[in-house]
Amino acid sequence: MKTNNEQAKIVLVTGGSRGIGKSIALHAAERGLGVILTYNNRSEEGLAVAAEIKGNGGKAVALQLNAADIRSFSRFAGQVSEALRQEWNRENFDYLVNNAGIAQRTLIKDTTEEQFDELVNVNFKGVFFLTQKLLPLINDGGQIINITSGLARFAFPGVAVYGALKAATEALTRYFAKEYADRKIRVNSVAPGAIDTEFGGGKGDEAHRQQIAASTALGRLGEADDIGAFVVSLLSDDSRFVNAQRIEAGGGIMI
Ligand SMILES: NC(=O)c1ccc[n+]([C@@H]2O[C@H](COP(=O)([O-])OP(=O)(O)OC[C@H]3O[C@@H](n4cnc5c(N)ncnc54)[C@H](OP(=O)(O)O)[C@@H]3O)[C@@H](O)[C@H]2O)c1
């Protein structure tokens, strides 16, 4: 497979219905990329993001995906192929952003096996098998970005499994980069700091928010657009020699 440079690039963003993923989808469309975004439960919000992109003259498709449902990935890959053919008359896309994720709010002593397994399935196993399943559809020379977390580097109480899985995803990033180097597919992770979205029910009361801001060199929580703009800046040839890296976008949190 060869990328045709005259064609607009296409990005697939998981969890593009809200928060960081929505911002990635909108910024990508602004830069002229075609967008395939996924939602899980909130179909209206996912479809609204695609409609907003189309309303602004871009091209977008919204598809349902549960990142924990590994058995649905073959069917999902078929839907991606169908969307590529119908919307773009293409067989392949260029960039995959594994953004969908769920939070944890339980101390180690209170964490059940069910909670542990759900976190593993969405935040790690799903990332591995979805990427495996979609790689045949990604153009040679493309890029995969895994959204990880500052919590892969530093520890807070209540997020042990989540943080450990994000660290595992950062290790996986390097392994994917190694095994797909022959296709010149670059694989990087972007680790957001504390971002003001609905994630895990949001960032809590004012005192907690101020505490987070105080532990961040830039003195504030991040916005979804801080991450969306940055991720999309990586989705071009300007980052062509950046590979197998963890890049933290956290305003200098916990330094
Ligand atoms: N916010 C932060 O402070 C922060 C910091 C570091 C890293 N991150 C990471 O950034 C990513 C996005 O977080 P966010 O803050 O934008 O979260 P968010 O506002 O809660 O949005 C989560 C997105 O993921 C989707 N999603 C949830 N469960 C899913 C599942 N089982 N299968 C497929 N999609 C699913 C949601 O779809 P529906 O809308 O359909 O529910 C939604 O689009 C996550 O990987 C998170 O770990 C966030």
Average pLDDT, the chain: 97
pLDDT at 1 > cutoff 50? no
Cα–Cα distance measured from residue 78 to residue 37, given in angstroms and rounded to the nearest whole number: 15
* Whole-number pLDDT of residue 7: 83
Angle 73-83/126-134 helices, nearest 10 degrees?
Answer: 40
Ligand 1 centre distance from Cα of residue 136 (Å): 25
Q: Which two tokens stand for residue 27?
A: 């910024």
Q: How wide is the angle at C-alpha 10 spanned by C-alphas 68 and 79, nearest 5°?
A: 45
Residue-wise pLDDT tens digits, 90-135: 999 999 999 999 999 999 999 999 999 999 999 999 999 999 999 9
Question: How high is the pLDDT of residue 4?
Answer: 47
Pocket lining for ligand 1, CB < 6 angstroms: 14-15, 17-21, 39-42, 45, 65-68, 99-102, 122, 147, 149, 192, 194-195, 197-199
| CATH class of the domain whose range is 10-248 | alpha beta
Q: Over the stretch 49-78, which tens digit does the pLDDT of each residue have?
A: 999 999 999 999 999 999 999 999 999 999
